[in-house]
C-alpha cells in the first residue's frame, strides 16, 4: 500500500472505485472505446448521488452494468476526463461492460449526509427510510430505465469499504442484480474488521484513517478541495502513539470535536446497539444474486470480513449460489499485485493473475453475459507453505481432524495434553513498554507485519514462546483456530495476543536475490495473530473484571488459516499482552479504557498455566492427507 502522509489516508485518496490492478492499461483505449457521462441519480428520498458511467461505443450488442459504489471518489470528475482503467481488471475492459462508479451518499460530489457503515433498515415504512441497500436498488432501477443498450443485468464488486457496499446490495436486491462480489468487505467494526478486534481498538489504523477520512464535508466537493493528510510529528509510530498517552488525550491533542466517528469510537466501548446496528451479517437473508466472496489470508484490514460474510450467507441461505476465494494476499493484493510473493515469503506462482483469469472474470461472465459456467468450487483456497490452490466442497473443509496444540513445560508445544500438575509460566507486563507489532522503525503501520519474522518478539521476557520439535512430516492447518488459555493476572483486566508461527529450519536458503540483511534460516513467519480484550472473554456486551490471582479461561477465535508446516519446520505459538501500536494499550485495570487517565496504566504479573487441570493451547483443524 503506497505511503503518503498517512497509510490509510493514502488509501482514501487513491483507492478509487476501480482499485489498481497489475496490468497497466493505456487510457487511450478507454477514450477510444467508451463514452463517459455523469449523472446525479435521484434516490427515493430525493437525494441525488453523483455517478460516472462509461458506455461502450460498440453498436449492435447489449451490455450488462458493472457497478462500484465507493466513499473514495469516482475521480476524475468531468465528462471529458477519463479513468485510465475500468472494472476489476483489463479482462473486463476489453470484453465490454457498462461501467458505473458512484460516490455514496454524503461523500464527494453526492448529496446527502454520510454515515459510516450505515445501519440497515429491515422494515422500511416510508421513502425516508433509506440505507445502502435502497440506494443500490434505486441506482440500478434508474440505470435500467435511462441507459440504452443494456441487457437488463447488473453486477457489483468492490474491495474494503466498497466491499461493504457490495454486501449491502444483497438484502432485498433488485431483480436485475445477478452477480455480487464483496471483496475484503468491511463487516463488523467491533469484533474483527479494521478498527476493533475482539473489542480491542486498532489504534494506528483508526487514528490514521479518520484523521483524514473523518473530516466533515459540509457540501459536495472534489478531491482537490478535500481534506489533507495528517502530518505525523514523530516518524516512528511506536514512539508517536506512546507519546499520546491515554486514549482520551487524542481528542485534546489532535482531533478536538472535528472527527465525529472518533468520538463515536470513544463513546461506545462495548458491543452495544451502536455496533450491532452496523453489523450487516444478520441481514444477509433471502439472498438471490450469485455471490463470490474474496479475501486474503494476510489482509491486515478485513480478513475477518471475507470469512464471516461467506459464512453468514452460507448459514442463512442454504440454497444460495455462494462461493469463497481466499488467497495469500494483503489487502486488495489480488488486483494490486501479481501475487507471486508477499514480504519475504514466496508463493512460486502469480496467484493474483490465476484468480483474475480463472475465477473472477468467469464468474461475472456467467451471470452477466450468459457465458459458459464458471465451474467454481464452493471454496477455492490457496494453501501457503505447500503453495498450491485447493478446491473444497465446504469451508471449513470436511476432511479435517480437530486437534489441540498444547503448551508444555520448558517452552515445548505438542498435540499431547500435559500430564503434570501446577505448571505455569510467570512474567511481568508493563503497558508503558508494550510489545511492538513489528521489528524496526515504521512511520505507518505496514501491511507486511501479517507475515513478518517474529524473532524480535521471541527475545522479549514479556513474550512467552512454545514450539514443537522438528516436524517429521507435513502438517496442514485448514480452517478456524481457537485460542484456549488458562491464565491469571495480578490486575483486573488484560489483553491476550496469540500468534501462530512457522519456524523455518536453520539451514533454510536465502532467496535470490537476497534482500539486504534477510536471513531465512530460523525465520519465524507469522501465519496468524489475534488479540482479545480479557474483560470481554464471556460477553462483548457485558465486560467482567478478572479476580486477581484466580485461574481464568480466556477463549477466543482467530481468523481461519490455510497453511502447510513443512517437514523439517517447527510450529511455534507466542503469547503476549500487548501488540503496539496496532492495538491500543490495556491499563491492566478494569475500567472504561477510553476515559482512562495516564496514571491508570500499571504493571501486572501474568501466569500462563499448562498442566493437567489447566491446559492452555490452540485448537486447530488439521487437514487429513
Is residue 512 domain-resident?
A: yes
Question: Are 418 and 364 part of one and the same domain?
Answer: no
φ, ψ for residue 425, nearest 5 deg:
-110, 135
Please name the residues in contact with 313: beta carbons below 8 A apart, sequence gap of 6 or more.
170, 284, 287, 291, 293, 320, 322
Question: Are 459 and 386 part of one and the same domain?
Answer: no
Question: Are 362 and 503 part of one and the same domain?
Answer: no
CB 371: neighbour CB atoms within 10 A? Answer: 14
> What is the per-residue pLDDT for 514?
77
Question: Are 569 and 536 part of one and the same domain?
Answer: yes
Distance CA 498, CA 435 (A): 13
Is residue 181 domain-resident?
A: yes
Measured in whole angstroms, how far is the alpha carbon of residue 546 from the centre of its chain? 30
Please name the residue that has the C-alpha cell 534460516: 521
Question: Are 292 and 365 part of one and the same domain?
Answer: yes
> What is the per-residue pLDDT for 27?
79
Boundaries of domain holding 427: 400-623
Q: Is the separation of the CB atoms in 622 and 400 below 8 Å?
A: yes
Measured in whole angstroms, how far is the alpha carbon of residue 197 from the centre of its chain? 10
H or E segment and range at residue 402: strand 400-407
Q: Is the separation of the CB atoms in 467 and 413 below 8 Å?
A: yes
Is residue 247 domain-resident?
A: no
Whole-structure pTM value: 0.94
Question: Are 521 and 418 part of one and the same domain?
Answer: yes
> What is the per-residue pLDDT for 589?
98
Mean pLDDT for each consecutive 10-residue tract of the chain (625 residues)?
38 38 60 97 98 96 98 97 96 96 98 97 96 98 98 98 98 98 97 96 97 93 89 96 98 93 97 97 98 98 98 97 98 96 96 98 98 97 98 97 97 96 96 97 97 98 98 98 98 98 94 80 97 98 98 98 98 98 98 98 98 97 95
Tell me the angle at which helices 203-213 and 260-267 cross, rounded to the nearest 10 degrees.
Answer: 150
Is residue 245 domain-resident?
A: no
Question: Are 296 and 371 part of one and the same domain?
Answer: yes
Among the three residues 348, 367, 392, which one is the final residue of a domain in this structure?
Answer: 392
Question: Are 37 and 125 part of one and the same domain?
Answer: yes
Question: CA 216, 121, 8 angle in degrees (round to 5)?
Answer: 35
Is residue 255 domain-resident?
A: no
Tell me how many domains the chain contains.
2
Question: Which long-range contacts (C-beta less than 8 Å, at least 24 apart) are formed by 263-266?
Answer: 264/116, 265/195, 265/201, 265/206, 265/594, 266/594, 266/595
> What is the per-residue pLDDT for 9?
42
Distance CA 24, CA 139 (A): 29
Task: Pick the closest to residue 46 from 176, 140, 135, 114 (CA basis).
Answer: 135
Distance CA 77, CA 499 (A): 45
H or E segment and range at residue 196: strand 196-197
H or E segment and range at residue 565: strand 552-565
Is residue 233 domain-resident?
A: no
Question: Are 297 and 440 part of one and the same domain?
Answer: no
Distance CA 322, CA 377 (A): 10
CATH of the domain at 117: 3.40.50.1820
The DSSP-derived string for 45-114 is: TS-EEEEEEEEE---S--EEEEEEEESS---S-STT---S--SSSHHHHHH--EEEEEEPTTSTTS-S--
> What is the per-residue pLDDT for 26?
55
Question: Are 475 and 525 part of one and the same domain?
Answer: yes
Q: Is the separation of the CB atoms in 558 and 575 below 8 Å?
A: no
> What is the per-residue pLDDT for 580?
98
Question: Are 465 and 556 part of one and the same domain?
Answer: yes
Amino acid at each position: 500500500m503506497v505511503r503518503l502522509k498517512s497509510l490509510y489516508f493514502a488509501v482514501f485518496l487513491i483507492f478509487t472505485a476501480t482499485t489498481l490492478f497489475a496490468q497497466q492499461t493505456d487510457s487511450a483505449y478507454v477514450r477510444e472505446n467508451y463514452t463517459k457521462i455523469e449523472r446525479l441519480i435521484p434516490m427515493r428520498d430525493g437525494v441525488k448521488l453523483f455517478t460516472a458511467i462509461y458506455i461502450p461505443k460498440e453498436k449492435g450488442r447489449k451490455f450488462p452494468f458493472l457497478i462500484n459504489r465507493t466513499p473514495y471518489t469516482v475521480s476524475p470528475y468531468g465528462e471529458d476526463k477519463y479513468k485510465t482503467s475500468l472494472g476489476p481488471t483489463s479482462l473486463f475492459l476489453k470484453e465490454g461492460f457498462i461501467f458505473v462508479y458512484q460516490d455514496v451518499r454524503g461523500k464527494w460530489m453526492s448529496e446527502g449526509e454520510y454515515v459510516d457503515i450505515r445501519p440497515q433498515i429491515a422494515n422500511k415504512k416510508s421513502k425516508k427510510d433509506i440505507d445502502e441497500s435502497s440506494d443500490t436498488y434505486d441506482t440500478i432501477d434508474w440505470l435500467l430505465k435511462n441507459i440504452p443498450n443494456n441487457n437488463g443485468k447488473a453486477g457489483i464488486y468492490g474491495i474494503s469499504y466498497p466491499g461493504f457496499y457490495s454486501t449491502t446490495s444483497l438484502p432485498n436486491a433488485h431483480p436485475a442484480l445477478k452477480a455480487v462480489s464483496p471483496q475484503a468487505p468491511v463487516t463488523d467494526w467491533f469484533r474483527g474488521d479494521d478498527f476493533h478486534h475482539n473489542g480491542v481498538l486498532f489504534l494506528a489504523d483508526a487514528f490514521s484513517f479518520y484523521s483524514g477520512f473523518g473530516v466533515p464535508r459540509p457540501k459536495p466537493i472534489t478531491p482537490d478541495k478535500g481534506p489533507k493528510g495528517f502530518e505525523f510529528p514523530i516518524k516512528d509510530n511506536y514512539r508517536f502513539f506512546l507519546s499520546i498517552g491515554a486514549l482520551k488525550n487524542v481528542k485534546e491533542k489532535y482531533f478536538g470535536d472535528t472527527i465525529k466517528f472518533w468520538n463515536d469510537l470513544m463513546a461506545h466501548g462495548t458491543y452495544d446497539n451502536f455496533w450491532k446496528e452496523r453489523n450487516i451479517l444478520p441481514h444477509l437473508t433471502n439472498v438471490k444474486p450469485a455471490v463470490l466472496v474474496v479475501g486474503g489470508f494476510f489482509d491486515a484490514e478485513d480478513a475477518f470480513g471475507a470469512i464471516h460474510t461467506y459464512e453468514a450467507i452460507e448459514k442463512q441461505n442454504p440454497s444460495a449460489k455462494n462461493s469463497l476465494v481466499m488467497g495469500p494476499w494483503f489487502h486488495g493484493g489480488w488486483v494490486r499485485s501479481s501475487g507471486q510473493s508477499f514480504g519475504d515469503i514466496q508463493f512460486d506462482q502469480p496467484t493474483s493473475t490465476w484468480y483474475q483469469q480463472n475465477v473472477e472474470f468467469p464468474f461475472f461472465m456467467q451471470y452477466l453475459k450468459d457465458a459458459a459456467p464458471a465451474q467454481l468450487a464452493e471454496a477455492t483456497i490457496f494453501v501457503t507453505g505447500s503453495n498450491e490452490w485447493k478446491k473444497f466442497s465446504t469451508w471449513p473443509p470436511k476432511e479435517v481432524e480437530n486437534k489441540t496444540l498444547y503448551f508444555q513445560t520448558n517452552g515445548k508445544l505438542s498435540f499431547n495434553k500435559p500430564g503434570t500438575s501446577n505448571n505455569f509460566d510467570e512474567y511481568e507486563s508493563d503497558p508503558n513498554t508494550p510489545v511492538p507489532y513489528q521489528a524496526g522503525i515504521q512511520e505507518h503501520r505496514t501491511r507486511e507485519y501479517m507475515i513478518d519474522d517474529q524473532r524480535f518478539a521471541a527475545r522479549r521476557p514479556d513474550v512467552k514462546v512454545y514450539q514443537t520439535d522438528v516436524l517429521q512430516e507435513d502438517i496442514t492447518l485448514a480452517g478456524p483456530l481457537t485460542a484456549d488459555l488458562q491464565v491469571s493476572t495480578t490486575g483486573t483486566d488484560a489483553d491476550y495476543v496469540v500468534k501462530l508461527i512457522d519456524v523455518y529450519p536453520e539451514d533454510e536458503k536465502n532467496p535470490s536475490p537476497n534482500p539486504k540483511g534477510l536471513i531465512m534460516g530460523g525465520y519465524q513467519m507469522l501465519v496468524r495473530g489475534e488479540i482479545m480484550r480479557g474483560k470481554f472473554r464471556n460477553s462483548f456486551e457485558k465486560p467482567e473484571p478478572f479476580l486477581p490471582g484466580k485461574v481464568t479461561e480466556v477463549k477466543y477465535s482467530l481468523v481461519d488459516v490455510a497453511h502447510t508446516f513443512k517437514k523439517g519446520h517447527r510450529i511455534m505459538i507466542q503469547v503476549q499482552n500487548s501488540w503496539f501500536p496496532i492495538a491500543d494499550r490495556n491499563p491492566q485495570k478494569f475500567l472504561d479504557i477510553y476515559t482512562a487517565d495516564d496514571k491508570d496504566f500499571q504493571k501486572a504479573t501474568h501466569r500462563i498455566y499448562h498442566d493437567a487441570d489447566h491446559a492452555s493451547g490452540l485448537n486447530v483443524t488439521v487437514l487429513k492427507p
